[in-house]
Structure 1
Amino acid sequence: MRGFSQVDVFTDEFLYGNPVAVVHDADGLSDAEMAAFARWTNLAETTFLLSPDSPEADYRLRIFTISRELPFAGHPTLGSARAWLAAGGVPRVAGRVVQECGAGLVTVREEGARLAFAAPPLTRSGPVTLSDLLALATALRVRPEDVVDAQWADNGPGWVAVLLASASAVLAVKPDFARFGGFRGVGVVGPHEEGGDAAFEVRAFVDEGSRFDEDPVTGSLNAAIAQWLIPAGLAAPSYVAAQGTVLGRRGRVHLARDGGEIWVGGDTVLGVTGQVAL
Protein backbone atom coordinates (compact mmCIF):
# COMPACT_ATOMS: atom_id res chain seq x y z
CA MET A 1 0.00 0.00 0.00
CA ARG A 2 1.15 3.51 -0.80
CA GLY A 3 -0.09 6.92 0.24
CA PHE A 4 -2.57 8.55 -2.10
CA SER A 5 -3.90 12.09 -2.47
CA GLN A 6 -6.24 13.87 -4.84
CA VAL A 7 -5.79 17.61 -5.02
CA ASP A 8 -8.02 20.20 -6.68
CA VAL A 9 -5.81 22.83 -8.30
CA PHE A 10 -6.36 26.47 -9.32
CA THR A 11 -9.34 26.84 -7.02
CA ASP A 12 -9.97 27.79 -3.41
CA GLU A 13 -13.13 25.66 -3.30
CA PHE A 14 -13.11 21.89 -3.70
CA LEU A 15 -14.76 20.59 -6.90
CA TYR A 16 -14.24 23.77 -8.96
CA GLY A 17 -10.64 23.40 -10.16
CA ASN A 18 -8.70 20.66 -11.93
CA PRO A 19 -8.00 17.48 -9.94
CA VAL A 20 -4.74 15.54 -9.99
CA ALA A 21 -4.16 12.11 -8.46
CA VAL A 22 -0.88 11.77 -6.55
CA VAL A 23 0.79 8.50 -5.53
CA HIS A 24 3.31 8.93 -2.71
CA ASP A 25 6.50 6.90 -2.20
CA ALA A 26 6.29 5.55 -5.74
CA ASP A 27 9.87 4.19 -5.92
CA GLY A 28 9.81 0.66 -7.28
CA LEU A 29 6.76 1.06 -9.50
CA SER A 30 7.36 0.16 -13.14
CA ASP A 31 6.50 2.35 -16.10
CA ALA A 32 3.72 -0.08 -16.99
CA GLU A 33 2.24 0.06 -13.48
CA MET A 34 2.27 3.86 -13.48
CA ALA A 35 0.66 4.03 -16.92
CA ALA A 36 -2.00 1.47 -15.96
CA PHE A 37 -2.93 3.37 -12.79
CA ALA A 38 -3.14 6.64 -14.73
CA ARG A 39 -5.54 4.99 -17.16
CA TRP A 40 -7.56 3.70 -14.23
CA THR A 41 -7.93 7.08 -12.51
CA ASN A 42 -9.07 8.50 -15.89
CA LEU A 43 -8.03 12.00 -14.82
CA ALA A 44 -6.21 14.49 -17.00
CA GLU A 45 -3.02 13.65 -15.09
CA THR A 46 -1.83 11.27 -12.43
CA THR A 47 1.55 11.81 -10.77
CA PHE A 48 4.06 9.73 -8.86
CA LEU A 49 6.36 11.10 -6.15
CA LEU A 50 9.80 9.47 -6.14
CA SER A 51 13.19 9.96 -4.55
CA PRO A 52 15.17 12.63 -6.43
CA ASP A 53 18.22 11.91 -8.55
CA SER A 54 19.42 15.52 -8.40
CA PRO A 55 20.95 16.68 -5.10
CA GLU A 56 19.18 20.00 -5.58
CA ALA A 57 15.68 18.50 -5.75
CA ASP A 58 13.29 17.72 -2.92
CA TYR A 59 11.53 14.99 -4.91
CA ARG A 60 11.23 13.61 -8.42
CA LEU A 61 7.89 13.66 -10.22
CA ARG A 62 6.59 11.57 -13.09
CA ILE A 63 3.44 12.77 -14.82
CA PHE A 64 1.09 10.52 -16.80
CA THR A 65 -2.05 11.22 -18.79
CA ILE A 66 -4.30 8.31 -19.73
CA SER A 67 -2.25 7.86 -22.91
CA ARG A 68 1.31 9.15 -22.41
CA GLU A 69 3.94 10.47 -20.02
CA LEU A 70 4.58 14.22 -19.95
CA PRO A 71 7.91 15.90 -19.17
CA PHE A 72 6.08 18.75 -17.45
CA ALA A 73 2.57 19.93 -16.65
CA GLY A 74 1.40 22.83 -14.52
CA HIS A 75 -1.54 21.76 -12.39
CA PRO A 76 0.12 18.41 -11.54
CA THR A 77 3.20 20.35 -10.39
CA LEU A 78 1.22 22.50 -7.94
CA GLY A 79 -1.06 19.66 -6.83
CA SER A 80 1.86 17.29 -6.25
CA ALA A 81 3.78 19.92 -4.29
CA ARG A 82 0.71 20.50 -2.10
CA ALA A 83 0.31 16.73 -1.54
CA TRP A 84 4.01 16.33 -0.71
CA LEU A 85 3.93 19.19 1.79
CA ALA A 86 0.68 18.00 3.37
CA ALA A 87 2.18 14.53 3.84
CA GLY A 88 5.01 16.01 5.89
CA GLY A 89 7.55 16.85 3.20
CA VAL A 90 10.13 19.40 4.37
CA PRO A 91 11.91 21.32 1.59
CA ARG A 92 15.66 21.83 1.72
CA VAL A 93 15.05 25.58 1.56
CA ALA A 94 12.14 26.92 3.63
CA GLY A 95 9.28 28.20 1.49
CA ARG A 96 10.77 26.79 -1.74
CA VAL A 97 10.19 23.30 -3.13
CA VAL A 98 12.39 22.05 -5.97
CA GLN A 99 10.77 19.46 -8.19
CA GLU A 100 12.74 17.25 -10.55
CA CYS A 101 10.81 16.16 -13.66
CA GLY A 102 11.33 15.41 -17.33
CA ALA A 103 11.69 19.11 -18.09
CA GLY A 104 14.44 19.51 -15.48
CA LEU A 105 14.30 21.26 -12.12
CA VAL A 106 11.18 23.34 -11.43
CA THR A 107 10.99 25.66 -8.43
CA VAL A 108 7.69 25.90 -6.53
CA ARG A 109 7.44 28.68 -3.97
CA GLU A 110 4.91 29.24 -1.22
CA GLU A 111 3.07 32.56 -1.51
CA GLY A 112 0.99 32.48 1.65
CA ALA A 113 -1.60 29.75 1.12
CA ARG A 114 -0.95 29.79 -2.63
CA LEU A 115 1.74 27.89 -4.51
CA ALA A 116 3.48 29.14 -7.66
CA PHE A 117 5.96 27.53 -10.04
CA ALA A 118 8.59 29.12 -12.23
CA ALA A 119 7.61 28.45 -15.85
CA PRO A 120 10.17 26.27 -17.64
CA PRO A 121 11.69 27.57 -20.87
CA LEU A 122 9.68 27.14 -24.05
CA THR A 123 10.91 24.35 -26.28
CA ARG A 124 9.15 25.91 -29.28
CA SER A 125 7.96 29.46 -29.82
CA GLY A 126 7.30 31.93 -32.61
CA PRO A 127 4.47 32.49 -35.08
CA VAL A 128 2.66 29.65 -36.81
CA THR A 129 2.69 29.29 -40.59
CA LEU A 130 -0.23 30.48 -42.67
CA SER A 131 -1.25 26.88 -43.36
CA ASP A 132 -1.22 26.09 -39.62
CA LEU A 133 -3.25 29.22 -38.89
CA LEU A 134 -5.88 28.20 -41.43
CA ALA A 135 -5.95 24.68 -40.00
CA LEU A 136 -6.38 26.04 -36.47
CA ALA A 137 -9.19 28.36 -37.54
CA THR A 138 -10.96 25.45 -39.21
CA ALA A 139 -10.57 23.22 -36.14
CA LEU A 140 -11.84 25.96 -33.83
CA ARG A 141 -14.66 26.89 -36.24
CA VAL A 142 -13.67 30.54 -36.33
CA ARG A 143 -12.90 32.73 -39.32
CA PRO A 144 -9.17 33.23 -40.02
CA GLU A 145 -9.71 36.99 -39.78
CA ASP A 146 -11.03 36.51 -36.22
CA VAL A 147 -7.61 35.23 -35.13
CA VAL A 148 -5.67 38.19 -33.73
CA ASP A 149 -2.46 36.17 -33.54
CA ALA A 150 -1.26 32.60 -33.13
CA GLN A 151 2.03 31.39 -31.69
CA TRP A 152 3.75 28.17 -30.80
CA ALA A 153 3.92 28.13 -27.01
CA ASP A 154 5.23 24.70 -26.20
CA ASN A 155 6.86 23.82 -22.88
CA GLY A 156 6.41 20.07 -23.18
CA PRO A 157 2.83 19.07 -24.00
CA GLY A 158 2.94 20.54 -27.54
CA TRP A 159 0.94 23.75 -27.10
CA VAL A 160 0.03 26.17 -29.86
CA ALA A 161 -1.90 29.25 -28.67
CA VAL A 162 -4.53 31.27 -30.53
CA LEU A 163 -5.40 34.82 -29.49
CA LEU A 164 -8.97 35.97 -30.17
CA ALA A 165 -10.34 39.49 -29.76
CA SER A 166 -12.37 38.90 -26.59
CA ALA A 167 -13.20 36.51 -23.78
CA SER A 168 -16.71 36.14 -25.18
CA ALA A 169 -15.24 34.93 -28.47
CA VAL A 170 -13.20 32.35 -26.56
CA LEU A 171 -16.27 31.14 -24.66
CA ALA A 172 -18.23 30.85 -27.91
CA VAL A 173 -15.72 28.49 -29.55
CA LYS A 174 -17.25 25.11 -30.46
CA PRO A 175 -14.29 23.12 -31.77
CA ASP A 176 -14.41 20.41 -34.39
CA PHE A 177 -12.12 17.88 -32.74
CA ALA A 178 -11.95 15.77 -35.90
CA ARG A 179 -10.10 18.66 -37.60
CA PHE A 180 -7.28 19.03 -35.06
CA GLY A 181 -5.02 16.80 -37.12
CA GLY A 182 -1.41 16.79 -35.93
CA PHE A 183 -1.88 19.38 -33.16
CA ARG A 184 -1.40 17.85 -29.71
CA GLY A 185 -2.58 20.79 -27.62
CA VAL A 186 -4.43 23.94 -28.70
CA GLY A 187 -4.99 26.87 -26.35
CA VAL A 188 -7.36 29.76 -26.98
CA VAL A 189 -7.12 33.05 -25.11
CA GLY A 190 -8.98 36.36 -25.22
CA PRO A 191 -9.18 39.47 -23.01
CA HIS A 192 -12.03 40.18 -20.61
CA GLU A 193 -13.47 43.66 -20.29
CA GLU A 194 -12.00 45.64 -17.42
CA GLY A 195 -13.57 45.43 -14.00
CA GLY A 196 -13.76 41.69 -13.45
CA ASP A 197 -11.52 39.42 -11.41
CA ALA A 198 -9.80 38.00 -14.50
CA ALA A 199 -7.98 39.75 -17.34
CA PHE A 200 -8.16 36.83 -19.79
CA GLU A 201 -10.31 33.79 -20.53
CA VAL A 202 -8.44 30.64 -21.53
CA ARG A 203 -9.53 27.29 -22.94
CA ALA A 204 -7.35 24.24 -23.60
CA PHE A 205 -8.04 21.41 -26.05
CA VAL A 206 -5.79 18.39 -25.54
CA ASP A 207 -4.99 15.22 -27.48
CA GLU A 208 -5.72 12.36 -25.08
CA GLY A 209 -4.46 9.69 -27.48
CA SER A 210 -7.77 8.23 -28.60
CA ARG A 211 -9.66 11.52 -28.48
CA PHE A 212 -9.42 15.29 -28.05
CA ASP A 213 -10.99 16.78 -24.95
CA GLU A 214 -11.14 20.08 -23.08
CA ASP A 215 -8.95 20.44 -20.00
CA PRO A 216 -10.58 22.32 -17.09
CA VAL A 217 -7.61 24.43 -15.90
CA THR A 218 -4.13 24.19 -17.39
CA GLY A 219 -0.98 25.49 -15.74
CA SER A 220 1.46 24.66 -18.53
CA LEU A 221 -0.67 26.40 -21.16
CA ASN A 222 -1.18 29.49 -19.01
CA ALA A 223 2.56 29.59 -18.33
CA ALA A 224 3.34 29.47 -22.04
CA ILE A 225 0.69 32.08 -22.89
CA ALA A 226 2.14 34.44 -20.28
CA GLN A 227 5.62 33.87 -21.71
CA TRP A 228 4.18 35.10 -25.01
CA LEU A 229 1.75 37.86 -23.98
CA ILE A 230 3.71 39.63 -21.24
CA PRO A 231 6.99 40.21 -23.16
CA ALA A 232 4.95 41.19 -26.25
CA GLY A 233 3.13 43.89 -24.27
CA LEU A 234 -0.23 42.18 -24.84
CA ALA A 235 -0.75 41.55 -21.12
CA ALA A 236 0.18 43.37 -17.92
CA PRO A 237 3.25 42.11 -15.99
CA SER A 238 0.82 40.54 -13.51
CA TYR A 239 -2.65 39.25 -14.33
CA VAL A 240 -5.25 36.59 -13.55
CA ALA A 241 -6.63 34.18 -16.15
CA ALA A 242 -9.98 32.41 -15.86
CA GLN A 243 -10.41 28.89 -17.22
CA GLY A 244 -12.98 26.12 -17.05
CA THR A 245 -16.01 28.40 -17.29
CA VAL A 246 -17.78 26.37 -19.98
CA LEU A 247 -17.17 23.19 -17.95
CA GLY A 248 -18.75 24.57 -14.79
CA ARG A 249 -15.39 25.19 -13.09
CA ARG A 250 -14.04 28.43 -11.61
CA GLY A 251 -10.34 28.08 -12.28
CA ARG A 252 -8.15 31.10 -11.57
CA VAL A 253 -4.50 31.16 -12.60
CA HIS A 254 -2.23 33.93 -11.28
CA LEU A 255 0.56 34.93 -13.69
CA ALA A 256 3.39 37.36 -12.92
CA ARG A 257 6.76 38.32 -14.32
CA ASP A 258 9.45 38.49 -11.66
CA GLY A 259 12.78 39.50 -13.13
CA GLY A 260 13.36 37.24 -16.09
CA GLU A 261 10.93 34.53 -14.98
CA ILE A 262 7.20 33.96 -15.33
CA TRP A 263 5.57 32.59 -12.19
CA VAL A 264 2.32 30.63 -12.33
CA GLY A 265 0.32 30.48 -9.13
CA GLY A 266 -2.90 29.01 -7.89
CA ASP A 267 -4.81 27.90 -4.84
CA THR A 268 -4.92 24.17 -4.08
CA VAL A 269 -7.39 22.11 -2.05
CA LEU A 270 -6.50 18.69 -0.67
CA GLY A 271 -9.72 16.79 -1.37
CA VAL A 272 -8.92 13.09 -0.91
CA THR A 273 -6.31 11.28 1.19
CA GLY A 274 -5.81 7.60 1.82
CA GLN A 275 -3.93 4.60 0.48
CA VAL A 276 -3.78 2.85 -2.86
CA ALA A 277 -3.03 -0.82 -3.49
CA LEU A 278 0.01 -0.41 -5.73
Structure 2
Amino acid sequence: MRFTQVDVFTDELMYGNPVAVVHDADGLGDEQMAAFARWTNLSETTFLLAPTDPAADYRLRIFTTGGELPFAGHPTLGSARAWLAAGGEPQRPGQLVQECGAGLVRVREDGSRLAFAAPPLRRGGPVDEADVRQVADALGIDRADVIGAQWADNGPGWIALLLRSADAVLAIEPRGFGELDKVGVVGPHAPGGHADVEVRAFYPGSPGEDPVTGSLNAAIGQWLIGSGLATDSYVAAQGTRLGRRGRVHVERVDDDVWVGGDTVVGVSGTVAL
Protein backbone atom coordinates (compact mmCIF):
# COMPACT_ATOMS: atom_id res chain seq x y z
CA MET A 1 0.00 0.00 0.00
CA ARG A 2 1.11 3.52 -0.68
CA PHE A 3 2.42 5.29 2.42
CA THR A 4 3.09 8.97 3.13
CA GLN A 5 4.35 10.79 6.19
CA VAL A 6 3.53 14.48 6.31
CA ASP A 7 4.80 17.19 8.66
CA VAL A 8 1.93 19.55 9.47
CA PHE A 9 1.79 23.21 10.56
CA THR A 10 5.32 23.88 9.32
CA ASP A 11 6.99 24.91 6.07
CA GLU A 12 10.19 23.06 7.01
CA LEU A 13 10.44 19.34 7.65
CA MET A 14 10.98 18.26 11.29
CA TYR A 15 9.53 21.43 12.87
CA GLY A 16 5.80 20.59 12.84
CA ASN A 17 3.73 17.57 13.86
CA PRO A 18 4.03 14.42 11.70
CA VAL A 19 1.19 12.13 10.68
CA ALA A 20 1.51 8.73 9.00
CA VAL A 21 -0.96 8.10 6.16
CA VAL A 22 -1.83 4.73 4.59
CA HIS A 23 -3.58 5.05 1.23
CA ASP A 24 -6.30 2.80 -0.24
CA ALA A 25 -6.79 1.10 3.11
CA ASP A 26 -10.28 -0.31 2.52
CA GLY A 27 -9.03 -3.89 2.89
CA LEU A 28 -7.65 -3.38 6.39
CA GLY A 29 -9.53 -4.34 9.53
CA ASP A 30 -9.84 -2.36 12.74
CA GLU A 31 -7.16 -4.33 14.57
CA GLN A 32 -4.72 -4.02 11.67
CA MET A 33 -5.17 -0.26 11.69
CA ALA A 34 -4.80 -0.07 15.46
CA ALA A 35 -1.71 -2.27 15.44
CA PHE A 36 -0.03 -0.21 12.73
CA ALA A 37 -0.80 3.00 14.63
CA ARG A 38 0.83 1.52 17.72
CA TRP A 39 3.85 0.55 15.61
CA THR A 40 4.37 3.99 14.04
CA ASN A 41 4.23 5.40 17.59
CA LEU A 42 3.19 8.82 16.27
CA SER A 43 0.47 10.88 17.90
CA GLU A 44 -1.82 9.90 15.00
CA THR A 45 -1.83 7.51 12.05
CA THR A 46 -4.55 7.75 9.42
CA PHE A 47 -6.08 5.52 6.79
CA LEU A 48 -7.57 6.81 3.54
CA LEU A 49 -10.63 4.91 2.30
CA ALA A 50 -13.33 5.26 -0.32
CA PRO A 51 -16.14 7.53 0.92
CA THR A 52 -19.57 6.22 1.85
CA ASP A 53 -21.15 9.68 1.54
CA PRO A 54 -21.42 10.90 -2.07
CA ALA A 55 -20.63 14.45 -0.94
CA ALA A 56 -17.20 13.36 0.34
CA ASP A 57 -13.98 13.02 -1.65
CA TYR A 58 -12.52 10.39 0.67
CA ARG A 59 -13.09 8.81 4.07
CA LEU A 60 -10.53 9.05 6.86
CA ARG A 61 -10.02 6.93 9.96
CA ILE A 62 -7.73 8.38 12.62
CA PHE A 63 -5.90 6.29 15.21
CA THR A 64 -3.69 7.21 18.14
CA THR A 65 -1.52 4.57 19.79
CA GLY A 66 -4.43 4.02 22.19
CA GLY A 67 -7.47 3.94 19.92
CA GLU A 68 -9.56 5.67 17.26
CA LEU A 69 -10.59 9.35 17.20
CA PRO A 70 -13.66 10.75 15.43
CA PHE A 71 -11.70 13.86 14.42
CA ALA A 72 -8.27 15.42 14.78
CA GLY A 73 -6.83 18.53 13.17
CA HIS A 74 -3.27 17.93 12.05
CA PRO A 75 -4.16 14.45 10.70
CA THR A 76 -6.92 16.08 8.65
CA LEU A 77 -4.54 18.52 6.96
CA GLY A 78 -1.72 15.99 6.59
CA SER A 79 -4.02 13.36 5.10
CA ALA A 80 -5.51 15.91 2.70
CA ARG A 81 -2.00 16.79 1.54
CA ALA A 82 -1.15 13.10 1.09
CA TRP A 83 -4.37 12.50 -0.86
CA LEU A 84 -3.67 15.42 -3.17
CA ALA A 85 -0.01 14.41 -3.62
CA ALA A 86 -1.18 10.94 -4.66
CA GLY A 87 -3.24 12.44 -7.48
CA GLY A 88 -6.57 12.94 -5.72
CA GLU A 89 -8.92 15.35 -7.47
CA PRO A 90 -11.71 16.91 -5.37
CA GLN A 91 -15.23 17.19 -6.72
CA ARG A 92 -15.00 20.96 -6.24
CA PRO A 93 -11.70 22.53 -7.32
CA GLY A 94 -9.88 24.05 -4.36
CA GLN A 95 -12.08 22.43 -1.71
CA LEU A 96 -11.97 18.88 -0.38
CA VAL A 97 -14.61 17.16 1.71
CA GLN A 98 -13.39 14.60 4.24
CA GLU A 99 -15.71 12.02 5.74
CA CYS A 100 -14.71 10.94 9.25
CA GLY A 101 -16.21 9.92 12.57
CA ALA A 102 -17.24 13.53 13.25
CA GLY A 103 -19.10 13.76 9.93
CA LEU A 104 -18.12 15.78 6.88
CA VAL A 105 -15.21 18.21 7.27
CA ARG A 106 -14.42 20.79 4.61
CA VAL A 107 -10.77 21.38 3.71
CA ARG A 108 -9.84 24.26 1.44
CA GLU A 109 -6.67 25.04 -0.45
CA ASP A 110 -5.57 28.44 0.86
CA GLY A 111 -2.66 29.40 -1.37
CA SER A 112 0.19 27.08 -0.42
CA ARG A 113 -1.61 26.11 2.79
CA LEU A 114 -4.52 23.85 3.61
CA ALA A 115 -7.21 24.80 6.12
CA PHE A 116 -10.14 22.90 7.63
CA ALA A 117 -13.45 24.29 8.83
CA ALA A 118 -13.65 23.74 12.58
CA PRO A 119 -16.32 21.13 13.35
CA PRO A 120 -19.03 21.82 15.95
CA LEU A 121 -18.03 21.26 19.55
CA ARG A 122 -19.25 18.10 21.20
CA ARG A 123 -18.96 19.92 24.50
CA GLY A 124 -18.44 23.61 25.11
CA GLY A 125 -19.16 26.18 27.78
CA PRO A 126 -17.49 27.04 31.09
CA VAL A 127 -15.57 24.53 33.19
CA ASP A 128 -16.65 23.86 36.78
CA GLU A 129 -14.55 25.70 39.36
CA ALA A 130 -13.44 22.46 41.01
CA ASP A 131 -12.17 21.19 37.64
CA VAL A 132 -10.35 24.47 36.94
CA ARG A 133 -8.54 24.21 40.26
CA GLN A 134 -7.64 20.59 39.59
CA VAL A 135 -6.26 21.44 36.14
CA ALA A 136 -4.32 24.43 37.48
CA ASP A 137 -2.78 22.23 40.15
CA ALA A 138 -1.82 19.60 37.56
CA LEU A 139 -0.14 22.30 35.48
CA GLY A 140 1.71 23.69 38.49
CA ILE A 141 0.14 27.15 38.22
CA ASP A 142 -1.91 29.29 40.61
CA ARG A 143 -5.67 29.41 40.10
CA ALA A 144 -5.35 33.21 39.91
CA ASP A 145 -3.22 32.84 36.77
CA VAL A 146 -6.22 31.42 34.88
CA ILE A 147 -8.36 34.20 33.42
CA GLY A 148 -10.69 31.94 31.43
CA ALA A 149 -11.59 28.25 31.11
CA GLN A 150 -13.81 26.51 28.57
CA TRP A 151 -14.61 23.01 27.43
CA ALA A 152 -13.14 22.71 23.95
CA ASP A 153 -14.14 19.17 23.01
CA ASN A 154 -14.53 18.56 19.27
CA GLY A 155 -13.51 14.91 19.49
CA PRO A 156 -10.31 14.48 21.51
CA GLY A 157 -11.86 15.97 24.69
CA TRP A 158 -9.96 19.20 25.36
CA ILE A 159 -10.30 21.59 28.28
CA ALA A 160 -8.83 25.01 27.36
CA LEU A 161 -7.36 27.57 29.75
CA LEU A 162 -6.53 31.19 28.97
CA LEU A 163 -3.53 32.67 30.80
CA ARG A 164 -2.37 36.28 30.91
CA SER A 165 0.66 35.93 28.63
CA ALA A 166 2.58 33.68 26.28
CA ASP A 167 5.47 33.72 28.77
CA ALA A 168 3.18 32.22 31.41
CA VAL A 169 2.20 29.47 28.96
CA LEU A 170 5.82 28.70 28.11
CA ALA A 171 6.80 28.59 31.80
CA ILE A 172 4.41 25.74 32.66
CA GLU A 173 6.02 22.63 34.16
CA PRO A 174 3.22 20.06 34.61
CA ARG A 175 3.14 18.07 37.83
CA GLY A 176 1.10 15.15 36.49
CA PHE A 177 -2.45 14.72 35.27
CA GLY A 178 -3.72 11.62 36.99
CA GLU A 179 -7.24 10.98 35.69
CA LEU A 180 -7.52 14.33 33.90
CA ASP A 181 -8.09 14.32 30.16
CA LYS A 182 -6.40 16.56 27.59
CA VAL A 183 -5.69 20.20 28.57
CA GLY A 184 -4.82 23.07 26.24
CA VAL A 185 -3.37 26.39 27.40
CA VAL A 186 -3.22 29.65 25.46
CA GLY A 187 -1.80 33.10 26.22
CA PRO A 188 -1.19 36.26 24.17
CA HIS A 189 2.19 37.37 22.83
CA ALA A 190 3.16 41.03 22.92
CA PRO A 191 2.13 42.89 19.74
CA GLY A 192 4.52 42.73 16.80
CA GLY A 193 5.98 39.32 17.56
CA HIS A 194 6.27 36.17 15.44
CA ALA A 195 2.80 35.03 16.53
CA ASP A 196 -0.25 36.43 18.28
CA VAL A 197 -0.72 33.69 20.86
CA GLU A 198 1.24 30.75 22.29
CA VAL A 199 -0.48 27.39 22.70
CA ARG A 200 0.53 24.22 24.53
CA ALA A 201 -1.33 20.91 24.63
CA PHE A 202 -0.92 18.42 27.48
CA TYR A 203 -2.26 14.91 27.96
CA PRO A 204 -1.74 12.03 30.41
CA GLY A 205 1.08 9.59 29.78
CA SER A 206 4.35 9.94 27.90
CA PRO A 207 5.60 12.14 26.31
CA GLY A 208 2.71 14.21 27.66
CA GLU A 209 2.80 17.22 25.31
CA ASP A 210 1.67 17.43 21.71
CA PRO A 211 3.87 19.42 19.28
CA VAL A 212 1.12 21.17 17.27
CA THR A 213 -2.58 20.46 17.65
CA GLY A 214 -5.22 21.31 15.04
CA SER A 215 -8.28 20.19 17.00
CA LEU A 216 -7.30 22.21 20.07
CA ASN A 217 -6.52 25.32 18.02
CA ALA A 218 -9.87 24.95 16.25
CA ALA A 219 -11.78 24.90 19.53
CA ILE A 220 -9.68 27.69 21.03
CA GLY A 221 -10.31 29.78 17.92
CA GLN A 222 -14.06 29.26 18.19
CA TRP A 223 -13.91 30.32 21.85
CA LEU A 224 -11.57 33.31 21.59
CA ILE A 225 -12.99 34.77 18.36
CA GLY A 226 -16.59 34.05 19.32
CA SER A 227 -16.20 35.79 22.67
CA GLY A 228 -14.24 38.77 21.34
CA LEU A 229 -11.03 37.75 23.11
CA ALA A 230 -9.19 37.52 19.77
CA THR A 231 -9.43 39.20 16.39
CA ASP A 232 -11.05 37.45 13.44
CA SER A 233 -7.64 36.37 12.17
CA TYR A 234 -4.58 35.43 14.20
CA VAL A 235 -1.51 33.17 14.23
CA ALA A 236 -0.82 30.70 17.03
CA ALA A 237 2.65 29.37 17.81
CA GLN A 238 2.92 25.90 19.29
CA GLY A 239 5.70 23.41 20.02
CA THR A 240 8.21 26.04 21.15
CA ARG A 241 9.23 24.16 24.32
CA LEU A 242 9.66 20.99 22.24
CA GLY A 243 12.01 22.59 19.71
CA ARG A 244 9.30 22.86 17.04
CA ARG A 245 8.11 25.92 15.13
CA GLY A 246 4.45 25.15 14.63
CA ARG A 247 2.35 27.95 13.15
CA VAL A 248 -1.42 27.68 13.06
CA HIS A 249 -3.40 30.24 11.06
CA VAL A 250 -6.88 30.76 12.52
CA GLU A 251 -9.48 32.85 10.69
CA ARG A 252 -13.21 33.46 10.92
CA VAL A 253 -14.98 33.71 7.56
CA ASP A 254 -18.73 34.29 7.88
CA ASP A 255 -19.95 31.64 10.31
CA ASP A 256 -16.92 29.36 10.01
CA VAL A 257 -13.61 29.29 11.84
CA TRP A 258 -10.88 27.96 9.55
CA VAL A 259 -7.68 26.39 10.88
CA GLY A 260 -4.80 26.27 8.44
CA GLY A 261 -1.12 25.67 8.08
CA ASP A 262 1.68 24.60 5.81
CA THR A 263 2.31 20.91 5.16
CA VAL A 264 5.51 19.17 4.05
CA VAL A 265 5.65 15.63 2.62
CA GLY A 266 8.61 14.02 4.36
CA VAL A 267 8.33 10.32 3.50
CA SER A 268 6.81 8.67 0.41
CA GLY A 269 6.83 4.96 -0.34
CA THR A 270 4.97 1.75 0.35
CA VAL A 271 4.11 -0.26 3.45
CA ALA A 272 3.46 -4.01 3.58
CA LEU A 273 0.26 -4.59 5.56
TM-score range for the pair, normalised by the shorter chain length: over 0.9
Please say if residues 75 and 218 of structure 1, whose CA atoms lie closer than 8 Å, have aligned partners that are also in contact. Answer: yes
Runs of 5+ consecutive residues of structure 1 not aligned to the other structure: none
Question: Which residue of structure 1 aligns with residue 202 of structure 2?
Answer: 205
Runs of 4+ off more than 6 Å: none
Question: Which residue of structure 1 aligns with residue 22 of structure 2?
Answer: 23
User: Residues 78 and 94 (structure 1 numbering): CA distance in 2 closer, same or farther, change over 3 Å?
Assistant: same
Question: Which residue of structure 2 aligns with residue 237 of structure 1?
Answer: 232
Question: Which residue of structure 2 aligns with residue 62 of structure 1?
Answer: 61
Structure 1 residue 73: Cα displacement: 0.2
Question: Which residue of structure 2 aligns with residue 218 of structure 1?
Answer: 213
- In the TM superposition, 1:121-270 aligns within 5 A as 121-177=120-176, 180-207=177-204, 211=206, 213-270=208-265
CA distance in 2, matches of 1:238, 1:126: 22
Tell me the C-alpha RMSD between the 2 structures: 0.8
Q: Give SS of 1:55's match.
A: coil
Q: Give SS of 1:127's match.
A: coil
1:196 maps to a residue whose letter is G
User: Residues 102 and 5 (structure 1 numbering): CA distance in 2 closer, same or farther, change over 3 Å?
Assistant: same
Structure 1 residue 211: Cα displacement: 4.4
Question: Matched residue pairs, number?
Answer: 273
Q: Give SS of 2:46's match.
A: strand
CA distance in 1, matches of 2:180, 2:63: 19
CA distance in 2, matches of 1:265, 1:130: 32
Structure 1 residue 212: Cα displacement: 6.1
Structure 1 residue 240: Cα displacement: 0.2
1:270 maps to a residue whose letter is V
CA distance in 2, matches of 1:60, 1:123: 20
Q: Give SS of 1:36's match.
A: helix
Q: TM-score, normalised by structure 2?
A: 0.99
Deviation string, structure 1 residues 231-266 (Cα, Å, up to 9, x no partner): 111101000000000000000000000001100000
Runs of 5+ consecutive residues of structure 2 not aligned to the other structure: none
1:273 maps to a residue whose letter is S
Please say if residues 240 and 253 of structure 1, whose CA atoms lie closer than 8 Å, have aligned partners that are also in contact. Answer: yes
Q: TM-score, normalised by structure 1?
A: 0.97
Q: Give SS of 1:226's match.
A: helix
